[in-house]
Chains A and B, each alone.
Chain A
Amino acid sequence: MTTAKEPKEHGGDVRLSGISKTYGSFTAVHPLDLTVPQGSFFALLGASGCGKTTTLRMIAGLEEPSTGTVCLGEQDVTALPPYKRPVNTVFQSYALFPHLDIFENVAFGLRRRGIKSVKQQVGDMLDLVQLGEQARKKPHQLSGGQQQRVAVARALINHPKVLLLDEPLGALDLKLRRQMQLELKRIQTEVGITFVHVTHDQEEAMTMADTVAVMNGGRVEQQGAPADLYENPRTTFVANFLGTSNFIEAEVASVSGDDVFLKAGGGKLTLPKARCTAPATTGGTVLVGVRPEKISLTHADDAGAIPEGRNRITGRIADSSFIGVSTQYVVNSPVCAAFEVYAQNIERDARLVPGADVVLHWNPAHTFGLDADQDADAGVEKVEEDA
């Protein structure tokens, strides 16, 4: 077990400065600055066509940036061809060499660098990905998950400064994908190499990465630790792309101390000032967001039992679906149509059925405020994206 004990030896961060890519009149990546700390597991998350793969390919050298520089540690590699960069890639659909067996696939990088005795290293690497037995098989004789591991081994054996992963789990079925997520995470902690992982799957990004950069339309919308991104989204795109969010357009009634007091419909809401990224001036409007699982649902008859100080709005259940661990409700409210509420199935109230009048209430600390000028539906899950 070589835990992340030797980060210094792997040499520095990945720094992208003002890097962009244009194809004719189309801008795939707007000038962006990004620093990937050495030894971290970094995810570039976004829908297809957001520029995340182009960004990755510019780090690999497979795409030439239109502007900007790519630095690995102290070294500026912008002008280097891919075969001279200390970076390796796990390609989407793996790109294993079909005419070579697993052993030779994994040995390819070593042999190209003129290393003669590869047997020991290849054997160790195949053991790391648990494929020692399959060394003499051809790629097409392996399952998807095994091919994926060969692709990882083929890249990792070169001890790159950075390992780039381009949707490496996209071709696997759900169960295997979960398994490989843990597997990749294990390998990353074991070898301590910087991983840059491109994915459109927000769950995958959040499970695996230390830092996630959410990309949209060729720009990085927000960057941070998964929990931070989830709890404190700064744009509606991030709020909707990572999980689900409910938005209420509210008017700022007053600002006092650490809180912003808002009016929405007939009700009053409280929002911690620190969690409001929009300028909160009295009389202005902000988008008030809250995650569905933070909300409690109480039947209108019991409204008196709700503790003071909680944000509350009233509504009527339009739909409910039971999914085992939780029940998902859609509530129509005067301030927001189709409010989503996820309630844990602990003590189910039999009266909470479609048509029932309810009060939604939550801790004001779980409220976040965004600029009302943006589209509240930006980044809402597009079903066809899920492969």
Chain B
Amino acid sequence: MAVFSVFSSLFRWLRRNLVVLAGLVTLAYLLLPNVIVTVFSFNKPKGRFNYSWQEFSTDAWKDPCGVADMCGSLSLSLQIAFWATLGATVLGTMIAFALVRYRFRARGAVNSLIFLPMAMPEVVMAASLLTLFLNMGAQLGFWTVLIAHIMFCLSFVVTAVKARVMSMDPRLEQAAQDLYAGPVQTFLRVTLPIAAPGIAAGALLAFALSFDDFIITNFNAGSTVTFPMFVWGSAQRGTPVQINVIGTAMFLIAVLLVVAGMLIGKRRAKKSL
């Protein structure tokens, strides 16, 4: 009897907390790789590969740029990601506004063509871009990589911004005009702030995509080496612990940004109550 009641209360507890449990399991599934990366950034491997745990050490954290060329490639990747994000966000936002707000010839065609980079296999796009650059006689390097990155980031930015602009009431801009705001003021004071979450989402997506792109970059970089290319190259010969340090640092920065964003949002919501 007692056993039965224990079981039944356990069952009831399970039923009540099943969603939470499922959530925790999923979260663990998502975070496990990050945990491994972090743990192994404190490893002191024997030999060149950082694949089995040896002993705890902070050597790599003390000297993150200790591996030849790695920090150079990291800085290059950050630069490319920054400029690609800027270019794709500005262009993509304008395209999104044009597609939603204006009726023009070939609007439908542009609308579907913009999704092509998303739908096409990356490796195909990489190879055809290379063909294009070679035929144009372009010098492969920073600029070809940047052009390629802006291109494939564009479709993501357009998608994110378009969704936001489409849900925007056109009467808001009319109201602004009615309240003495000229076209520039209307755009800066009303249109842009309301579209901002969509633009920010597009920009974040663009940054992440550009920073860790490997395939397209590898085809079109010539002798330039970005961070993903460096990691790939070193994985053939041995993986320095510093790669894990950079990975962990990136992860922490992202988490900090998200938490900060949430705190700011919460404080703002509280203030306006």
| Contact in complex: B171, A93 (CB < 8 Å) | yes
Give the one of B180, B182, B193 with max A CB within 10 A: B180
Contact between B179 and A99 (Cβ–Cβ < 8 Å)?
Answer: no
Report if B91 contacts A (CB, 8 A). no
What residues of B have a CB within 8 angstroms of the CB of A88 in the complex?
Answer: 178-179
Q: Which residue of A lies closest to B268 (CB)?
A: A138
B114 within 8 A of A: no
Q: Is the CB of A141 within 8 A of B273?
A: yes
A83 touching B180, Cβ below 8 Å: yes
- The one of B186, B194, B272 in contact with A141, judged by C-beta atoms closer than 8 angstroms, is B272
B190 CB–A CB distance under 8 Å: yes
B179's contact among A92, A112, A141, by CB below 8 Å, is which? A112
Assuming the contacts A97-B190, A99-B194, A137-B272, asked whether A112 and B181 have C-beta atoms less than 8 A apart, the reply is yes
B271 touching A136 by the CB < 8 A rule?
Answer: yes
A-B contacts, CB under 8 A, total: 71
List residues 131-189 of chain B with CB under 8 A from any CB of chain A: 169, 171-172, 174-182, 185-186, 189
How many B residues touch the partner, as a band?
20 to 34
The reply on A170 being an interface residue by CB < 8 A is: no
CB of B180 within 8 A of CB of A81, answer no
Measured in the bound complex, the distance between the Cα atoms of B182 and A112 in whole Å is: 9
The verdict on A348 contacting chain B, using a C-beta distance below 8 Å, is no
Contact call B171/A91, Cβ cutoff below 8 A: yes
Contact yes or no, B272 A158, CB < 8 A: no
A109 touches B180 (CB 8 A): yes
Asked if residues A83 and B181 are in contact (CB atoms below 8 Å), the reply is: yes
Q: Which residue of B lies closest to A85 (CB)?
A: B178
In whole angstroms, what is the CA distance A109 to B174 when docked?
13
Query: What CA separation (Å) do A213 and B174 show in the bound complex?
Result: 25
Residues of B within 8 A of A (CB): 169, 171-172, 174-182, 185-186, 189-190, 193-194, 271-273
Cβ of A378 within 8 Å of any chain B Cβ, yes or no, is: no
* Residue of B175, B180, B182, B193 touching A91 (CB-CB under 8 A): B175
Q: Pick the contact of A137 from B171, B194, B273 — CB < 8 Å?
A: B273
Instruction: Give A94-108 as 1s and 0s: 1 = Cβ < 8 Å from B's Cβ atoms.
Output: 011111010000001
Report A53-94 residues with CB < 8 Å from chain B CB. 60-62, 81-84, 87-89, 91-93
Q: How many residues of A contact B (CB 8 A)?
A: 30
B177 touches A81 (CB 8 A): yes
On A, residues with C-beta under 8 Å from B are 60-62, 81-84, 87-89, 91-93, 95-99, 101, 108-109, 112-113, 136-138, 141, 154-155, 158
With A99-B194, A137-B273 known as contacts, the answer to whether A109 contacts B179 (CB < 8 A) is: yes
Task: Please state if B180 and A112 are interface contacts (CB–CB under 8 Å).
Answer: yes
**Chain A proximity of B211: nearest CB distance (Å):** 30
Q: How far is the CA of A101 from the CA of B273 in the complex (A)?
A: 10
The reply to whether B194 and A98 contact each other, CB–CB distance below 8 Å, is: yes
Q: Which residues of chain B are near A92, meaning CB under 8 Å?
A: 171
A–B complex contacts, Cβ < 8 Å, 20 sampled: A62-B178, A81-B177, A82-B177, A83-B180, A87-B178, A91-B175, A97-B175, A99-B193, A101-B272, A108-B181, A108-B189, A109-B180, A112-B180, A112-B185, A136-B271, A136-B272, A138-B272, A141-B273, A154-B179, A158-B179
| Cα separation A26 to B46 with both chains bound (whole Å) | 82
In the bound complex, residues from chain B placing their C-beta under 8 Å from that of A109 are 179-180
C-alpha gap A138/B272 in the complex (Å): 7
Q: Which residues does chain A contribute within 8 Å of B175, judged by CB atoms?
A: 89, 91, 95-97
The verdict on A82 contacting B273 (CB below 8 Å), with A109-B180, A113-B180 known, is no
Q: How far is the CB of A107 from chain B (nearest CB, A)?
A: 10
Q: Write the nearest CB–CB distance from B101 to chain A, whole angstroms.
A: 15
